[in-house]
Every structure is written in C-alpha cells, then in structure tokens.
Amino acid sequence: MNQTRIARRPWTGSIGLLLGAIALVMAVFHFSAGPLDPQPTIGQSIGEIAADIRKSAIKGLKGEPLPEPQSAPWSLDRMLKASAYVLGGLAIVLGTLGFVLKENRRLAVCAVSLGAGAIGFQLFTWVILLIVGVVVLIAIFQNLGEILEG
C-alpha cells in the first residue's frame, strides 16, 4: 500500500503569527501614542483624592458604613491593553499548537515570539515606569529632608 503524506496548511502557526503581530503593534502603538482617553489634570486628581479621604474619614468617625468600592470603567486605553494581552496569549497558544501539530517551525517560533514580545513589552514598560517613579519619589524625599534641615 502506498503511504502518501498529505500536505497540510500551517493554519495555527499562520494565525498565531498574525495575532502576535497585531498584539505587538497594539502594545507599541498604545505606549507611543500615550493615553487616548482624556486625562484629568494632576490638581483635579489630587483634589478628588483629598475629597474622598475627607468623606471617608468623616463617615468613619460618625460610624457610618463606607460605600462599596466600584470597579473602574472600561476605557479605550484599558481595552487596548487587555486586547494586546489576550492576542499575545492566543499567539503563544497557537504557536505552541503549531509545534505539537508539527507544522512549520519558523511560523510556530515567530508566533510564540511575537506573542511573548507583546506581553513582555507591556510588562517591561510598567516595570521601567515603576522604577522611574520610585527614583523620583526618593529624590523628592531627599530634597524635602534637605529643605527641612536647612
């Protein structure tokens, strides 16, 4: 009996590659374009935080129950971030499935790499921003100490 191998199209690797590329482009676009939703000024944010602290303190002193915390609304920025994570995860899964199904290795490796790159890019930027924020806070506290001493 003649055993011929049926050539299959590498659909999982191809779709994974496409999703990984879209996820990476979305992550880089969102990082470079900045927040797309209108952002309140720093003064407005600090004023709202101070007002919330005041209201909570008054309710706590009076013994009134505090309001239930509310979840943040889904903004365009939040949807872009979540979509990039989801598409990156799907690219990793489809690339891994491509390995399992013995599809073209290059497609599978590229799909996994692009998906991991999209997720890693977002996590890396958050870590860098946190480190920069801590360095700025340390500098502010050091300057406050010098001002108070002098």
* Category of 34 on φ-ψ map: left (φ > 0), alpha (ψ -120 to 50) or beta: left
More confident residue, 137 or 96: 96
Coil vs helix vs strand at 97: helix
- For 28-82, the pLDDT digits (tens) are 999 988 788 887 787 777 778 778 878 887 877 788 887 787 887 888 889 999 9
Coil vs helix vs strand at 39: coil
- For 127-140, the pLDDT digits (tens) are 998 999 899 888 88
For residues 94 and 39, give the distance between their C-alpha atoms in angstroms, rounded to a whole number. 36
For residues 91 and 100, give the distance between their C-alpha atoms in angstroms, rounded to a whole number. 14
Is residue 59 a contact partner of residue 79, using CB atoms and an 8 Å limit?
no
Res. 7: pLDDT tops 60: no
